[in-house]
Structure formats: structure tokens, C-alpha cells
Amino acid sequence: MASAPESRGTAVRSGRPAGAASSLQTLRLLESGPRGLTEAQAEERLVKHGENTVPGSHPVPWGLRLARAVGEPFTAVLLCLGLVSAVIASWGTACVIAVLVVVSAVLRAAGERRAERSVAALCAVLPQTATVRRRPAEGAAPVHRELPVDQLVPGDVVRLGAGDLVPADVRLLRASGLTVHQAVLSGESAPVPKHAVDTGCERPVGNGEFTGPGAPDSADPVPGAKGTADTGPGIGGATGPGAGDATEFSAPHLCFQGSSVASGSATAVVVATGAHTRFADAWATPPGRRRGTFDRSVRSVAWLLIRCMLLIPPVALLADAAVRGRGLETLPFAVTVAVGLTPEMLPVVVTAALARAAGGLARRRAVLVRRLHALGDLGAAGVLCTDKTGTLTQDRPVLECSLAPDGTPDARVAQWAALSAFWTLHLAELPVPDPLDEALLDATVEPDGPAGSGDGGGADLGGLWDWEGVAALPFDPVRRLSCAVLRPPHADGTPGPAAAPHAPEAAEAAAGGPGEYTAYGPGEYTVVVKGAAEEVLERCALDDERRAELHRRAALLAEDGLRLLAVGCARRRSRLGPYVPGDERGLTFLGFVGLRDALAPTAARALAGLARQGVAVKVLTGDHPGTAARVCRDLGLLDADGTPAADAPSQDAGATGTVRPGAPPGVVTGAVVDTLDDDRLAEVAARSTVFARCTPAQKARVVRALRTRSTTGFLGDGVNDLAALHAADIGLCPRTAAPVAREAADVVLGAKELTAIEDAVAAGRRCGGAIASYLRIVLSSNLGNVLAMLVAGVLLPFLPMLPAQVLVQNLCFDAAQLALAFDRPGTVEGRRRPAVLRPRALLGFVTGFGLLNAAADVATFAVLALAVRHGTGTDSAAAFHSGWFTENLLTQAMVMLLLRTGGSAAYARRPARPLLLAVAGLAAVGLLLPLSPLGAPLGMTPLPWVYYPMLALVLCVYGAALALARAAGERRAAGARPGRYGKGRKSDG
């Protein structure tokens, strides 16, 4: 038994059977027929070709997840320090470090695994089936069966109807009024007309329904010819922004897996399944993602600390040898000093803060963070790229204007168009309204009526609903028209649209439309036609000059981002036979109906929120430039002259102008992107807001260009977005996205709306603030302690602190610092700074405040000397150890409050309860441990009472110095920060 060819050459890619071949040739090449495959043939092909499923990524084993977490540079350094501690017999320190590494790795791996399971569960929510025509055996009659889509094989004949998902790559054998949503593949917002090219236009019979082929076979349509997807008509024949340029998805006789049927019906043959489809081909070799900003910043801080830690032991050894003449016997002390500089809780705090924020987003907004560090990248984001459809708009049109032929508002044009839509739908054999018809019908029953109608609306149609539909010619992609034949409610004397005279001059006089009423004679009906402007105008009785003028007006309206329908009418005599497309000639032109994409209700508020957070929104779409510009103007992303809105963040506040030939102001087209080199594209992308008619490769180029200046996120949901998702620092997609898009995304949103991203950015900023607080506090304290320890080690005849005391102090520090992961960093209204850790800024901060901490420690040494001198029977070494231990914990408690993000008056916000409890506990341990029975085993002793007043004075001076230094630093940062987010911005680090 022969089977279908298995190479890609038999499928869409080569274009042989699905392209240049006719339907019959395609069936022969696939060794199938109009009656479908037999069950035996289908089973054989299923074994040969495999199931019709898209290959997905395999679950990452736990071992590999843990290895990745441990392989982070800072975690690896901690492991090395733990090994060194074990070598020098510092078992307590080694155990603490080992526990911290394990806890951090498990938290990170568990959080990412939980998110991955949730994403995988989305794929199994809705099992899909397809209607397939198969034969039980050779010679048997074919039957239609509902089969799971994974059982389809090349050569299967399938039926498609409105609302169906296209289950595989198919070649149309027959179609009636078929339009397909393929935004998931091409980014085109409007449904794309499709038809079987070798059957031509089916002819209407009876009351206007279509049956059977009605034209001879033809070769593939020439791009740009009428009826092809290259002409630019949208659904319902709308002219203007509506269809894509000629691409691999524009072939009118091919439908691709991942798209869905918007209207009409079709019979098609499967030409490619599973891994051979265009849908799967986009995921075949996904590019590796580069590390995000958060990963890079944490790594840069880690390497800075590594260099400092490698520098400290030799400095300590040389200083001790020069002053005390000691040699390698001080190596354990030098290693202890290096360990003291290490913020060993960093991996745990980072992971805990991110996991806590990710869990909160999952509970509140159903946002799944698949890669924990992506939340940190969102906190650092300065640019968000998004498509238009479904994010800024609702993917449905609404009536914008109803215009008479002279351009003045006239609601009656929309009313007649709605009446035609109603009866076309009512008389159709399978009533499936397209979105334009739904928008017209919705507008005629709303009390406010169509925008720009000027008369208060279309609720009262002046008795038009009393008209009765007689016949209808539904919309089809070749004619790009629909037609309804209407009978007036009375045989005589009923007012209606003016009859279209035979003379063009008389038609011009009657071009005012339904405002000029004449009586209907017995048996007279009215034909109302609506559709693409160029098609309707061709059928109207107009002279060339008037027709050209109306074409120009239609072009201007289309450039303004409207989908345009033209409406015409004619009077016809009743008949016994069917109405045919020839009755759509000699029309009186009634006017234009303009529709626009309905804006998402939360889009404007979310865009304002993102702007307040310093996130510049860029729109990357495959849609028409006029449509994209219109939406962005309506939402305030663009001013009327096409420049970015004054309050919108920009990467280059000083730049003006852009490159926009052939597009509305403020819009850069994909054709322009191809003409720019990478450096020039980075400049243009930084100051532009809208990129239209972009291919997937062009979207990815724009994203890479934006990444050179700022951390960039990309929100997409289709196969055509995969390249850009991989190119961005953060890939985002909604739950309803294509499975391959969900696999590529770092963050999966509960709904495709920007408010969820606004919340996620805010959560990322809070995480960034908490991590920055931890680093500032820990490194400043550790650096001060290290400097003080080096001074004490050189000047004192005994160790400044015993190993057991160092271990207890570090444990207290670590337990208290973990509370920083649960803090609520404060913000300032209008504060527009992404949370980016920058090593240089952090180093300057830590150096300054570390020296203050060291000064407080040295002052404490002097206080201890005075206290011990006035004490009686006090062991000087034990007293020194106890006094410094107490001072260290108290100063640590102070800096946790004063150096946290939001700890100053300018960023005032009450610390979170866990942080307050941690600070109180840390201070209590510092004051009470030397006095408790546990103090003696640790080498501590009660301190003389005179020490405490002097220590309080030192702490007061230290606290005042911290507050003054922080206020001065914030004033300096505020003076250096530009008014708009751009170059020279300061980080939260």
C-alpha cells in the first residue's frame, strides 16, 4: 500500500503540492482523494509520520536544577570558602555555609519547578478534536468523524467551520466565505480571507447561498491581484489597515496550524503534521537566551567581592608580619577575615525575595514566573515591547464614524449597513457573523449611536427594521462584498433610498443617499451592498472624477487607522429567479462606515502606571502603520504630531525626529528597519514608539537594539513572536499563547493585559530594593568589621574575637538579615528608576558607610579601654570580646533600619513586621548574651556599667552620621538624575 511522501518537500515549505499544484494534483501527490483516506492508510501513516503534536521541551531533572543553582558564581565562592574553613578545622563556619548553599539551591529549584508544572498543565486544559472524512475500507462510503488532532496524518480530508482551530497545515479544496485569524503566526490583527484558488468564486443560487464550484481552474493568484491576501482587505471586505504584506502566510489557499477560523467554512486536505508544520518549524531550533540584567548585575557584584576576598588574606598576613613578626600561623585569622567580608546569605535572600514575590503574583494575578531571576529583570526593566492586538486593543472592531459621500457625519449610512448585515446573517445557511457585522449591529442598538454621527445615534432606525430581507449574497473573499435584497414594508408609498438612475449624472444628484426618499412601486426591492471601498466604488454609477475623489477620501481615512466599509444601494424589480452578483452594478453610493479596534479597558491606566515606574512602552506589530498609530494616539503613547507623549519615558530624552518614510508620523516600518545598521537602529529605536509591518526577524532586531541601552521585556503570544521572546531580557506571554510561546517565555500572565505586567514590574522593583538593602547593609557592616578586625589584629596582643564568638555573631547576623527578603521598600511618587545593581555605585556606597562603621568600631575600642580601666577584676580580653560583640550587633540593628531602601525620610515607609522583629531580636541578643549563663562558655563576661552610657553616646553619633551621609548621597543622586528615564540614570544599588 502506498503512503504519503515523508519529506518536507510534500508539505508547505516547498510549495509544490500546496502551492503551484492544483487541488487534484495535491491530492494525488499525497496519495489521497476527495473521499479521504481509509482507516488502514491512516494507521500506516500515523506510524510513519508520528502523532500530530508539536515537540515540546523536556522537564529539567532535579539534579540538573540543583547543579545550575550551585553553579552560580557567588554560590561557588561560598562552597570554596566552606572547604577552606573545613581545611583549617573551622567546622562551625563550614557547616553554616553548607546549609546556606543547600537552602538557596532548593528554594530556587523548587520555585522554578512549581512554575513549570503550572505552565505544563495549561496545555492539557482543552483537548482538541477535528472533523475528518475517512472510509472504513476501500470502496466504502466516506463518513465524517471527530478525531483527536494528534491522530491526523498527511492526506486526511478535514472540514473547518467558524471557531475551529486549524489542526495542521492544510490546503483548501473548497471554501465558502472563509476568513482565518492567523495573528499567532503573522501578527496580523484582522482575519485574512482564504479561498481555494482553483475553484474560483462559487456562484449564488436560490436566495443567494453558494453551492459548488462556479469557475474554471486557475493557477496561483498573482500577488496583489484582487481577492488575494496581498490586496489588504480585512474581514468583511474592509479597506485599509487589515491584511499583511505578501509573506509565507499570505497564500490564499493555505491555512496553517495554530490559526483559527473566523467565519465561513471549508474542506481541506492535510499536507503537513507534527514537527513538519510551519507552527512547529518556528520552535525547531530555539536560540539560546542570553543572561538577563539581573543575572549580570549579581554576577558583577559577586566578582567584585571575589576580588576583594582574594586581596584581604595577603594584606592581613603582610600587615601582621610587618608589625608582629608572625608568619603563616596567622593564616586562619586571615581566612576568617576574608570570610567575614562575604555576604553568605546573599543567595538565600535573593532566592527568598524572588520566590516570595513570585508566589504573591501567582496568588493575586495568576502570574507564573518560570525563571525566578526574570522577576529581578522585570524590576530592572526600562523598556517593554508589546504587540497591539489583544494587549492594547480587544481584538474586535467598534464603529467610529458614519460619513456621507461629502465627508459629513450621517448615521443613516451605518444604519443601512447594519440592516444589510442583519439580513445577510439571517438568510445565511450557516449564520456566522464576522466582527465587522457584529460591530455594526451593536452600534445600531446603543443609545449613543456611532461616533461622529452627529444626531445622537442609531437606536431609532426610522422604521428600517420593518423592511424584510428577500435574498442575500454573503461575503466572499473574491468579491469582497456582501449584498442584501430588501423589500419595503408596504407595496406602495413607502419611503426608502433613492433609486439609482441609469445616467451617471442622475446618480451624482442622488448621491446624498437615503436622505432623498421616493415612493416604491409594486414589486420594487432595494439592493444594499457593503464591502471594500474600491469594490463598491467600482460598482457605483459615478463619473471618473467623482470616483477618484472618493478613492482619495477613502485612502485618507484608511491612513488614519480606520477599517473602511463603503455602502451602496440600487432599486431592483422583484423576480422568481435568484439574485446574482450582476445585480450589484449601477449602485448609488451612500457613504463610508469607519471602524477602529476597540481599546482594552485597562490599557490606558496600565500605560500610565508603567510610565510612572520609568518603563517606556514600544509597540511592535505586524499590523498596518495607520492602525498602530491610531491606537497609540488614542492611548496617549503618541501625540497628535506622532512624537512620543510628553509624559512617556524615553531612552533618549534629547532626541527628536525619527525615520518614518512611507508611514504616519511616529511610526517606523519594518522596511525602514531593514535599511538601518545596528548602531543607527539603536538610535532610532530609542526615540521611536511604534514599529509596524514588522516580520519576526525585524521584531527581534528591534529588541536587540533596545537591549543595548536598557533592560528590555517583550510580550508576545504567537509563533511569530518567538525570535523576539528569545532576544529580550524578559520574555512574557499570556496563558492563551501558543504552546511554543509559553515554552519560550520567562513569565506567563493570567491574562493578556498590561496591568498584570505593571504589578509584576512593581514586585520586581520591591525585590530589587530588598536585595539592594541587603547588600548595602551587609557589605557596609562587614567591611567596617573587617577593617576594624585588621586594626585590632595588628595592635592587640590577643585575637580581637574568638572563633566561637565570630560564628555566633555571624549566625545572629544571618538570621536577622533574612528578614530583609520580607521588607517593603519605600517608594516616592514619580520615582522612575529601574532597580539595577551597579557595582561601581555599590562600591562607593559600601566604602563610605563601611569607613563610618569602622570608625564606630575604633571608637568602641577606646570606650572599652576606658571601661576596663575603671572596672575591677575584669578580664581585659573577655571584656573586649564582650563589648565588641555587643556593639557589632547593635550597630547592625541600626543599619538595618537606616540603610534599608525606604529607610530615610525621603522614602519613608514603615518597615515590615518581620524586619522589626529581627532588629529587636538582634539588639536583645547583643545586650543580654554576655550577661546570660551562655556568655561564659563563649568566652564573654559581664561588662562594667560605665560602658553602656559611653556605648550609647557612640551609637547616637554613629546613627546621626549615617542619616546625614545618606541624606547627602540622595541629594547628590537626585541632582544627577534626569527628569526622564534615560542616560545617566542612577540605580537603586
Q: Catalytic residue positions?
A: 387
Short-list 120, 395, 431, 135, CA closest to 264: 431
Rounded distance, CA 170 to CA 178, Å?
Answer: 14
The residues, any chain, with a CB within 8 Å of residue 927's CB and separated by 6 or more, are 886, 890
**Chain centre to alpha carbon of residue 719:** 13
H helices then E strands: how many in the chain?
A: 29, 24
- Is residue 382 within 8 A of residue 615, CB to CB? The reply is yes
DSSP 518-550: BPPPTTEEEEEEEE-HHHHHHTB---HHHHHHH
Cell numbers 451624482 correspond to: 508
Q: Which three cell numbers stand for residue 386?
A: 508589546
Name the residue among 504, 530, 520, 519 with its Cα closest to residue 572: 520
β-pair partners for 596: 398
Biggest CA pair distance of the chain: 127
The span from the CA of 356 to the CA of 107, in Å, is 10
Main-chain dihedrals φ then ψ at residue 647, nearest 5 degrees: -95, 10
For β-strands 204-205 and 192-193, DSSP reports them as unpaired
Smallest CA-to-CA distance from 716 within 693, 684, 741 is with: 741
Rounded to 5°, angle at Cα 261 from 259 and 264: 155
Name the DSSP letter for residue 821.
G
Q: Quickly list H helices, 658-753.
A: 670-675, 678-687, 696-707, 722-727, 739-744
Angle (nearest 5°) at CA 406 between 405 and 409: 85
Amino acid letter for position 751? A
Sign of CA dihedral 744, 748, 435, 161: positive
Other residues' Cβ atoms within 10 Å of the Cβ of residue 623:
29
d(CA 425, CA 429): 9
* DSSP codes, 854-912: HHHHHHHHHHHHHHHHHSSS--HHHHHHHHHHHHHHHHHHHHHHHSSTT-SSTT--PPP
Q: Are the beta carbons of 376 and 369 closer than 8 angstroms?
A: no
CB 367 within 8 A of CB 750: yes
Can you tell me the distance from the alpha carbon of 871 to that of 238, in angstroms, rounded to the nearest whole number?
95
Write the single-letter amino acid at 442: D
Backbone φ, ψ for residue 262 (5° rounding): -85, -40
DSSP state of 720: G
Supply 834's cell numbers.
529601574
Going from the C-alpha of 390 to that of each of 255, 481, 744, the distances in angstroms are: 22, 27, 19
Place of cell 505586524: 622
- Amino acid in position 211: T
Cβ neighbours of residue 150 closer than 8 Å, sequence gap 6 or more: 51, 52, 53
Separation in Å, CA 688 to CA 519, 619, 644, 812: 57, 9, 7, 52
For the record, the C-alpha cell of 400 comes out as 467610529
